[in-house]
Amino acid sequence: MSLAGSPPDDDLNPDTRIKVWFRFVQDEDGWPPVQEEGVWAVPLGDDLAEIHNIPFFVQGSADRDVVRVQTAAGGRHWAVERVRWSGNCTIRVLPFKDGPIGPSVRGVWEKFAGLGVTAEGHNSELPLVALSVPPEADLAAVKRLLAEGDDEGWWWHEESCVGDAWRSA
């Protein structure tokens, strides 16, 4: 589910895009709630692909990163390593069901809409929101809003893929 202001899917020609898959090891609490995640990507040749959506559970990857893939016998493309970081940060936000905005993906998105970030919602059973924060966004404002939401009981958030500019903002 993409939200208003999310990256357009128009640049992904269904005939040329591929799914790139990432594997996970769940922690003792069962997080992440999946053992693998597929993200849309555009093949670049030479076993490289550029991610074209925001990962929900992948640690250390972001929208528009370039990854090296290995194609399995069945044709599934598995991410092997990140080759180039896009500069985008990936932040996961999980609204609290009993919090002031409830388990609303749209409610989370509306809080961030004016800050230059894009977002994708996971599903209604797990209202997880993946934010893509580009390097030109007001990183300090995004971080302040994330902290405010944590403090006010709106959500829990996790930094999945960040760089030095984010850390120092």
Distances (CA, A) of 21 to 24, 47, 49, 103, 155: 10, 14, 11, 27, 28
The alpha-helical segments, DSSP class H, found in 38-116 are 105-112
What confidence category does residue 93 fall into, taking pLDDT thresholds of 50, 70 and 90? very high
| Continuous segment of H or E residues that includes residue 34 | none
- Between residues 15 and 33, the one the model is more confident about: 33
- Encode pLDDT of 33-79 as tens digits: 999 999 999 999 989 999 999 999 999 999 999 999 999 999 999 99
Cα 119 to Cα 134: distance, rounded to the nearest angstrom:
11
